Amino acid sequence: MKKIISLLLACMCCMIFAVTAFAANPQIVVSEVTAERGDEIVITVSVKNNPGVSSMKLEVKYDTDVLEYKSSAISNNFGGVPATSESNGKVQLNWMLFGSDSTANGVFAEIKFKVKDTAIGGKSAVEVSYNPEDVCDKNMDNVAFETVNGGVTVNVPCQHTDTKIINAKEATCCEKGYTGDTYCNECKTVIAEGTEIAKNADNHVGGTEVKNAKEATCTEKGYTGDTHCKGCGAVVAKGSETAKNADNHVGGTEVKNAKEATCAEKGYTGDTCCKGCGAVVAKGSETAKNADNHVGGTEVKNAKEATCTEKGYTGDTHCKSCGVKLESGEEIAMLNHKGGKATCAEKAKCEVCGNEYGEVDADTHALKYETVKEPTCTEKGERKITCENGCGYEKSEEIEALGHDWGEWVTVKEATYDEKGLEERTCERTGCGEKETRETDKLVKPSKPQNPSNPSKPNPGVTEINPNEKDETNPNTGAAIRYGSVAGAAIILAAVVVISKNNKK
Ligand SMILES: [Zn+2]
Ligand SMILES: [Zn+2]
Ligand SMILES: [Zn+2]
Ligand SMILES: [Zn+2]
Ligand SMILES: [Zn+2]
Ligand SMILES: [Zn+2]
Ligand SMILES: [Zn+2]
């Protein structure tokens, strides 16, 4: 504990000594001011920590290029006898206090200047100095002061003597330009702004590109293309036509004059020609004959038609060009004899060659018919068949009976309402005379009144009776009508008989 206290005490002693030592450091300080050209300024020379002096003789030096001396005065605070003078940039400050020391502090002297119009800007020092024996106390002992120089800082407006242009931009075909700002290197400020410059249609930047260039070909002239500004697209330079290029074939090629090799002639691969100009780009070459490529058609040789006596041949197929036999023909079978007709006596004779062929036909006779017995209406006849070729063929044949040749039926007895009639007919063939009879039906009594102008016509051959007319007791028919009908029917019947007779003739 005791140790800590003693340490603290020691530190406190040091601090007190330091403060005392600082306070005890006598100084003569020249003030610092800031001014502009033409300003009147006051530079002060002050005393600090004055230990006590009775005489001081100081010299204040300034730059005569910057400051023009006006006046100087030593402060009354210090009492004593002041005396000041100036010569060649040096101000003499003399002060003396008889018999005692002054311990005054603060402004000791004031020096008035005018800042020259031609002063260079910046800081200009004002320095204070003295000879050691010129600062003494009342005992004539030297008193030492530390001197602190001051001065004037002249703020001179920049004359902008060192400038440069910044932010300038050239006008191009696409963008406006800018004259640029004037920048002072000294004061680091822009002292004048620039102005915009209109676009310059002639100042193409950003490079160029060639458009519409066309290669010259074998058929068309080319074009070097127009040089365009990439920026604005304007044509900077027109291109020019270039001559046709006979070696630049375009549009493809085609093969001409190609010839296939055949059995008779060599072939040719053909010339490769430009489709555009037709020029031969590459000649073709000959190819060997192709023994398998027969062209120009074929022909058939040694063909022979078949006949009824000799075989034929379809003929061999030969190439017309080289004559080589391409295919053999085939035999054609002999033809059959044709035509003619075999009989029982002779073979058939071929119409083509005239030769007999085949066999005799035993069934083909030259027949001859002879009637041995004539047939009648009821009896068969007979005939004899022989071959006129003399082959000995002979045959007997019945002839069918002829049958009767009946005439018309003739009435033998008329039919009445009560009795049947009778008819007869006779065979009209000569020498026969055969007769035939048949009954005819009774007449039918009419059951309805008859229209005399259109009487119903009874059929003598009809056996069927109309059931409606069969009823004689029909209550709807009167007796008078019935008699009338009977009379009418008798007249009609008579007429029928007459017609029948006439028909027989
Ligand atoms: Zn400047
Ligand atoms: Zn352009
Ligand atoms: Zn061509
Ligand atoms: Zn051939
Ligand atoms: Zn024949
Ligand atoms: Zn015969
Ligand atoms: Zn007869």
Does residue 337 fall inside a structural domain?
A: no
101 and 128 in a single domain? The answer is yes
In a domain, 232, yes or no: yes
Q: How confident is the model at residue 362 (pLDDT cuts 50, 70, 90)?
A: confident
Residues 458 and 387 in one domain: no
Ligand nearest to the CA of 164: 1
Q: Given this model, what pLDDT does residue 500 score? A: 45
Q: Are residues 37 and 147 in the same domain?
A: yes
Q: What is the DSSP letter of 76?
A: G
Domain that holds residue 476: 410-504
Q: Are residues 54 and 171 in the same domain?
A: no
What average pLDDT does the chain have?
85
10 Å Cβ neighbour count for 447? 19
Closest ligand, as measured to the CA of 231: 2
Tell whether 176 and 87 lie within a shared domain.
Answer: no
Residues 37 and 144 in one domain: yes
Asked if 445 and 500 sit in the same domain, the reply is yes
From the CA of 308, the nearest ligand is 5
Round to whole Å and give the CA distance between 129 and 58.
6
pLDDT of residue 450: 53
Q: How would residue 477 be classed by pLDDT, with cut points 50, 70 and 90?
A: very low
Specify the pLDDT at position 143: 95
Q: Is residue 48 part of a domain?
A: yes
Non-local (6+) Cβ contacts of 255 within 8 A are 269, 270, 271, 272, 273, 284
CB 294 within 8 A of CB 324: yes
- Ligand 7 centroid distance, CA of 368 (Å): 29
Residues around ligand 5, an ion, CB closer than 5 A: 308, 337, 350, 352-353
pLDDT at 406: 94
Flag whether pLDDT at 465 surpasses 90: no
Tell me the β-bridge partners of 60. Answer: 91, 128
Do residues 65 and 100 both lie within one domain?
A: yes
Number of domains in the chain: 7
* Nearest by Cα to 118 from 152, 81, 156, 145: 156
Residue with tokens 């005490």: 9
User: What does the block give as tokens for 342?
Assistant: 């075999």
What pairs with residue 399 in β-bridges?
381
Q: Are strands 146-148 and 27-30 parallel, antiparallel or unpaired?
A: parallel
* Whether 114 and 36 share a structural domain: yes
Over residues 82-111, the pLDDT tens digits come to 999 999 999 999 999 988 999 999 999 999
Is residue 228 pLDDT above 80, yes or no? yes
C-alpha 343 to ligand 6 mean position (Å): 7
| C-alpha 426 – ligand 7 centre gap (Å) | 8
Strand partners, 163: 184
CA angle 416, 419, 425 (to 5 degrees): 85
Q: Could you tell me if residue 452 is inside a domain?
A: yes
Q: Are 35 and 101 within one domain? A: yes
> From ligand 3's centre to the CA of 211, what distance in Å?
25
374 in a domain, yes or no? yes
Domain boundary among 91, 123, 154: 154
Residue 20 pLDDT class (50, 70, 90 cuts): very low
Helix (H) or strand (E) segment spanning residue 128: strand 122-136
Spacing, Cα 428 to ligand 7 middle (Å): 7
Q: Name the pairing type of β-strands 298-301 and 280-282.
A: unpaired
Q: Which of these ranges, 126-140, 314-328, 354-368, has the smallest mean pLDDT?
A: 354-368
Alpha-carbon span 153 to 121, nearest angstrom = 7
Nearest ligand, CA 368: 6
Which domain-ending residue is among 136, 154, 172? 154
Q: How far is the CA of 49 from the centre of ligand 5 (A)?
A: 179
Q: Is residue 356 situated within a structural domain? A: no
405 located within any domain: no
- Give the per-residue pLDDT at 44: 97
Ligand nearest to the CA of 276: 3
Q: CATH number, domain at 39?
A: 2.60.40.680
- Same domain as 442, residue 391: no
Q: What is the pTM of this model?
A: 0.35
| Ligand 6 centroid, distance to 394 Cα (angstroms) | 9
Examine the fold and report which residue of 379, 399, 419 is the final residue of a domain before the chain moves on: 399
Residues 150 and 167 in one domain: no
Non-local CB neighbours of 233 within 8 Å, separated by 6+ positions? none
Pair of tokens at residue 403: 């049958």
**What mean pLDDT is predicted for residues 419-425?**
94
Please give the distance of CA 394 from its chain centroid, rounded to a whole number. 101
**121 lies in some domain:** yes
Tell me the DSSP string of 216-284.
--SSS-EE--EEEETTT--EEE---EE---TT---S-EEEES-B---SSS-EE--EEEETTT--EEE--
Evaluated on CA atoms 47, 53, 56, 59, the torsion sign reads: negative
pLDDT in tens, 254-300: 999 999 999 989 999 999 999 989 899 999 999 999 988 898 889 99
